[in-house]
Chains A and B, each alone.
Chain A
Amino acid sequence: MTMEKRQLIAYRTARFFEDGDLVNLGIGMPTLCLKYLPEGVDIWIQSENGVIGLTGAPGEGEEADPNVVDASGSVSMLRTGGCCFDSFTSFGLIRGGHVAATVLGAYEVDQEGNLANWMVPGKTVAGMGGAMDLVSGAKKVLIMMEHCDKHGNPKILKKCRLPLTAANEVDYVITELCVLKRTDEGLMLMELAPGVTVEEVVSKTEADLIIPEEIGCMV
């Protein structure tokens, strides 16, 4: 099976969802998951700007309502059964544990389940948006990320160096090399990508990993 890195990550992440789940997908790579939903799994997208049921940009010839936008502000279509609400209700859904999973990217994660994805001091000043609430509130926190940065340095660390988005909230990390599960004892190597060895993952990861006897395959 040959897949580009991002597609492999999206394919595997999509297999964490169950039919009927309410899911919040971050901007960028997380939205790719929608293309790889397993057959028979239909999820409902919750967007923090106050809507359930967005399906993406209008197709050619489709009439869109400019008052229906996604969490990046882009006009989107709303499926039958969808609904709109205010930001307060939206974050009540998120914080109250009514959202089954939130999927986000990361600058860094660590073996305690800490996440840093909103600020690089001296470099980015965008703000956290809804990320801190999503990670603190959703039932399952799935992090989709490239295993190393563009220079090949580990991004899965013993301790995050960047300012945190949330402490101890990450549940799973999905990269092009493996799937890691956070346990009370630390990060456990749950699955490997085809052709990837335990040694390769260990050499590209700063965090201590728990290596179980049986390791699954990502595809």
Chain B
Amino acid sequence: MPINKVVSLDEAMGKLRDGLTILIPGFVNCGVPETLIKGIIGKGYKDLNIISNNTSIKGRGIGLLVQENRIKHITCSHIGNNTETVEKVVAGEIQVTFVPQGTLCERVRAGGAGIGGILTPTGLGTPIAEGKPVIEVDGKKYLLEKPLRGDVALIHAWKADKMGNLVYRRTARNFNPIFATAADLVIVEAEEIVEVGELDPDIIHTPGCLVDMIVQI
């Protein structure tokens, strides 16, 4: 019998603790695991290091963690959509490290794929290049960017089977399949949970072997 990874929100959130590094996908409000984020807030976890593309908008998604002062440091490409994040960064309440969006994808992909870094032209000659090795390959220059991983990844799926095979919907896919590869513990919230065998093997975006727990939204 295939393993059934479906658990309650409370059980999944019980695996976390203060100070963890958490990968949270999503693009503004699309494809953000908001149920799991509310679970973190419910458990009172704080001093979190978040790796995400952005911080949603004020009071939504990752913005809830900003509002409740749960974030110590955030690694992301953009915070401009959330005025509250900008205020807290300016006030020194949240530390931020900006990473170009494409570089963020590749660094997390490297972290999940066992690759020791990536070479990208993005950021050459800009403040992002400071302190990073520049490597020349066949006459072209690239920045060496190191892999990124998390202790935990929180994932938002459209459909999950009970083994954790996942399908995302439209642009809610964004960072989800990448982030699901690069954490020690992968927790998924799914809009719909189906029996094993109901998803066509060819349409699965994230293989179930990457997933540890599934929570029904």
Contact = CB atoms under 8 A, between A and B. Distances in A.
Contact of A69 (B30, B54, B101, B123): B30
Contacts of A164: 125-127
B115 interface: no
Given A78-B170, A129-B78, A130-B77, A166 B102 contact: no
Given A49-B27, A84-B171, A95-B120, A128 B125 contact: no
A151 to B, nearest CB: 24
A87 B126 contact: no
B194 interface: no
Given A67-B170, A68-B171, A128 B86 contact: no
A24 to B, nearest CB: 12
Interface string A63-88: 00111110111000010000011111
B133 interface: no
Interface in A107-160: 114, 119, 125-133, 136-137
B93 to A, nearest CB: 13
Interface hub of B105, B125, B126, B176 (most chain A Cβ within 10 A)? B126
Interface residues of B, number: 48
A86 B178 contact: yes
Contacts of A189: none
A131 B109 CA distance: 20
A165 interface: yes
B33 interface: no
A165 B122 CA distance: 9
B177 A86 contact: yes
A88 B173 CA distance: 10
Contacts of B171: 47, 49-51, 67-69, 84
Given A67-B171, A126-B79, A164-B126, A91 B28 contact: no
Contact of A130 (B100, B106, B126, B168): B100
Contacts of A47: 171
Nearest to A122: B90
B174 A87 contact: yes
B44 interface: no
B174 A73 contact: no
A88 B174 CA distance: 8
Contacts of A192: none
Contacts of B125: 114, 164, 166-168
Contacts of A137: 102, 121-122
A91 B77 CA distance: 13
Size category of the binding interface on chain A: 35 or more
Given A129-B101, A132-B100, A133-B101, A88 B123 contact: no
Contact of A86 (B81, B89, B174): B174
B26 to A, nearest CB: 10
A194 interface: no
Contacts of A69: 27-30, 171
A91 B105 contact: yes
Interface in A41-56: 47-51
A91 B121 CA distance: 12
B76 interface: yes
12 contacts: A48-B102, A68-B170, A86-B175, A86-B177, A87-B27, A87-B105, A114-B125, A127-B76, A129-B101, A132-B126, A166-B123, A167-B126
Name the 5 nearest CB pairs between A and B, nearest first.
Answer: A73-B28, A167-B125, A126-B80, A91-B102, A133-B102
Interface of B: 27-31, 53-54, 57, 76-81, 86, 89-90, 96, 98, 100-103, 105-106, 109, 120-128, 158, 168-178, 205
